[in-house]
């Protein structure tokens, strides 16, 4: 049901780097090569996203858990780092990342205002289930790209939120800290709040509506008034 008194009726959130902080990955990776954790983690995340986009473009699906392990192995090879560690166990660090400050309060405010809320993530269904079980934040929807067998920013992924809520894209808000994801959501027709990670953060110049730059405390007001 839509409400004419507010701009949207549901708000979905990206997971990695938006709701969940990626900072602990530095420490996890430091165990592989002391002093190089931040370098490994940054390259791992970049390769992880590159692989997801390539798999979507080439129609070579593998879930995000597999992509995560594969790209970690590739990064270690690139950097010449040999290890006997179980890379699958290290990749589980993505399932245990902490909630960022301000996220829980923003989601609670939206729920109290009567909006549906959800997570729309590249994460696998199994990873989302584990995250949902440990976070003290209630969402109405936990949507994995597994259902689309494509990765963001493919339109079929954002369509999952439309299908789950029965709302048109323009009545759905989307929150992300990733510029490429902000571009994807805006292109699809969502009302996008971009948690710009710093003054050097940019949205790719791909001809999409500019997302609204916001902070966590500004999110409830943006979507309810």
Q: Which tens digits make up the pLDDT trace of 21-80?
A: 999 999 999 999 999 999 999 999 999 999 999 999 999 999 999 999 999 999 999 999
pLDDT of 163 above 90: yes
Can you give the pLDDT at residue 85?
A: 82
14 and 41 fall within a common domain: no
In a domain, 3, yes or no: no
Q: Is residue 105 annotated as part of the catalytic site, yes or no?
A: no
Q: Which tens digits make up the pLDDT trace of 105-142? A: 999 999 999 999 999 999 999 999 999 999 988 999 99
Q: Are residues 76 and 177 in the same domain?
A: no
Same domain for 88 and 34? yes
The whole model's pTM is what? Answer: 0.95
Q: Are residues 92 and 57 in the same domain?
A: yes
Same domain, 29 and 111: no
pLDDT for 198 equals 87
Residues 108 and 151 in one domain: yes
Q: Is there a domain that residue 122 lies in?
A: yes
Residue 10's nearest CA partner among 189, 184, 177, 141 is 141
**Residue 53 domain boundaries:** 24-96
Judgement on whether residues 55 and 82 belong to the same structural domain of the protein: yes
Confirm whether 31 is domain-assigned. Answer: yes
Q: What is the mean pLDDT of the chain?
A: 95
Q: Which residues contact 84 (CB under 8 A, 6 or more apart)?
A: none
* Selected catalytic residue, list 14, 63, 146, 181: 14
Residue 4 lies in a domain: no
Note whether 86 and 191 are same-domain residues. no
What is residue 1's predicted lDDT score, i.e. its pLDDT?
56
The predicted pLDDT at position 112 comes to 96
């Amino acid at each position: 049901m839509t409400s004419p008194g507010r701009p949207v009726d549901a708000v979905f959130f990206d997971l990695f780097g938006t709701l969940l902080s990626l900072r602990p990955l530095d420490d996890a990776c430091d165990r592989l090569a002391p002093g190089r954790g931040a370098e490994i983690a940054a390259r791992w995340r970049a390769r992880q996203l590159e692989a997801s986009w390539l798999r979507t473009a080439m129609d070579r699906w593998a879930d995000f858990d597999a992509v995560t392990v594969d790209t970690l192995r590739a990064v270690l090879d690139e950097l010449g780092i040999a290890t006997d560690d179980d890379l699958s166990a290290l990749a589980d660090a993505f399932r245990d990342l902490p909630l960022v400050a301000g996220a829980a309060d923003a989601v609670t405010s939206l729920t109290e205002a009567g909006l549906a809320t959800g997570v729309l993530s590249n994460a696998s269904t199994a990873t989302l289930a584990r995250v949902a079980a440990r976070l003290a934040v209630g969402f109405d929807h936990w949507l994995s790209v597994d259902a689309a067998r494509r990765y963001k920013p493919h339109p079929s992924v954002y369509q999952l939120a439309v299908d789950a809520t029965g709302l048109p894209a323009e009545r759905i808000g989307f929150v992300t800290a990733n510029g490429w994801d902000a571009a994807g959501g805006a292109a699809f027709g969502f009302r996008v709040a971009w948690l710009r990670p710093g003054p050097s953060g940019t949205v790719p110049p791909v001809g999409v509506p500019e997302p609204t730059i916001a902070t966590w405390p500004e999110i409830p007001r943006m979507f309810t008034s």
